[in-house]
Structure 1
Amino acid sequence: MSKIVSVLFISMDGVVEEPAWTGPYWNDDHGKFQAGQLSQSRALLLGRVTYDGMSQAWPAMEKAGEDVGVMNSIPKYVASTTLKEPTWNATVIDGDVAEAVTKLKAEDGKDILVYGSGDLVNYLIEHDLLDELKLFLHPVVVGRGKRLFPDGLGARAWRLAGTHTFDSGAIVLDYRPAGPVG
């Protein structure tokens, strides 16, 4: 059985949108961490907006290194009702996302990694399909933008399973679902 693992860049004020603000904190250790996440994964699960951005940027980096080759070749599943002609080794999930993800999880193998895709992450949480939530917390207050958890998302408890601190001041907080609150 595979796990669904989300890795999200997040600011101190909870913003997950347009993570250009992470650039000043990026270094080789961050790259090694991300390469490790990718090496433990058999596929990516993405929302449409994240897919659009990544599918335009990553193929252009083909000569940048081994990790880029892995990123470009790994299978991708995109939750979208509007994407009609996927590229970049992608398959569209345009029907019942919960059912499709449940089938993907039932397959043996490595993890299925979710990058970005805040709306999809919330959907996975609501349907009890997310196994790990790795918040890549950056020491910056962005001030505006889309927050990870919208109003109305049901209360859920999380257990801290580990941390990883970077010299840049960024930290990864690795959480696992811990059941209902209270």
Structure 2
Amino acid sequence: MGKIIAVEYVTLDGVFEEPAWSGPYFNDELGAWQSSNLMEADALLLGRRTYEGFKAAWPQMEEATGDFGKKMNGMPKYVATTTLTEPEWNAEFLQGDVVEAVTKLKTGSGSLLINGSASLVNLLTRHNLIDEYRIMVYPVVVGEGRKLWDEGTKVALKLSSTFTTTTGVEVLTYLPA
């Protein structure tokens, strides 16, 4: 059975969008942790906005990011979209009902990594399809912006592991309770 892992950046007030606020806190510890997340994954599972942002940025960053960039650019990507029609960047667009398509993907043996993609994370959470949540809580309050969790999304979680970086980022791993 496949595994879906959501990896998210959030502020203390729960904002996840436009994570420029994460820059001052990102260090080698988080870089190594993020590299480990990507290297253990077999494919990415992304929402349309995250896919478009990644597709625009990562092909130009491969040389500067080495093995991480090669893996990011070369691995398969499954994208939840109803508007895009021409897959690029090793992508396959999920057709029809996203929950059904992701449920089918989970019948495989690989692990799927979600980065960002809050709408997708909320949808899959409401259908109990995410196996692990890896959340980086940054020690900053931005006061406005889209929150990770949509109103109405509910999930009980149990803490699996935690560590704090030297820059004060709390890295929390949760499993469904």
Contact 2:126 2:155 in 1 (8 A): no
Q: Which sections of structure 2, spanning at least 5 residues, go unmatched?
A: none
User: Counterparts of 1:71 and 1:49 in 2: how far apart (Å)?
Assistant: 16
Conservation of the 8 A alpha-carbon contact between 2:13 and 2:142: yes
Correspondences of 1:8-157 after superposition (within 5 Å): 8-64=8-64, 65-109=66-110, 111-153=111-153, 155-157=154-156
Give the distance between the partners of 1:30 and 1:156, measured in 2 at CA.
Answer: 26
Structure 2 CA distance for aligned equivalents of residues 96 and 5 of structure 1: 20
1:49-104 CA-partner distances (Å, limit 9, x unpaired): 11111110000012111111011001000000001112111110131111111111
Superposed structure 1 runs of 4+ greater than 6 Å apart = none
**CA distance in structure 1 between the aligned counterparts of 2:91 and 2:164, rounded to whole angstroms:** 33
Work out the CA distance in 2 between the residues paired with 1:44 and 1:25.
Answer: 25
Question: 1:138-176 deviations in whole A, cap 9, x for unaligned?
Answer: 0000110001112222x3211001112111100111111
TM norm structure 1:
0.94
Aligned partner of residue 10 in structure 1, secondary structure: strand
2:163 corresponds to 1:164 = yes
User: Please, which runs of 5 or more residues in structure 1 have no aligned partner?
Assistant: none
Larger deviation, residues 3-12 vs 142-151: 142-151
Quote the Cα distance in structure 1 between the aligned partners of 2:169 and 2:122. 23
Q: Write the distance in 1 (CA, Å) between the matches of 2:63 and 2:152.
A: 44
**TM-score (normalised: structure 2):** 0.96
Q: Aligned partners of 1:60 and 1:34: how far apart in 2?
A: 19
Moved more, 163-172 or 41-50: 163-172
Tell me the secondary structure at the aligned position of residue 124 of structure 1. Answer: helix
In the TM superposition, what whole-angstrom CA distance separates every residue of 1:6-56 from its partner, at most 9, and x where no partner exists? 000000000011111101111111111011001110000000011111110
Counterpart-to-counterpart distance in 1, 2:161 and 2:34: 16
Whether the aligned pair in 1 keeps the contact of 2:79 and 2:93 (CA below 8 Å) is: yes
Identity %: 52
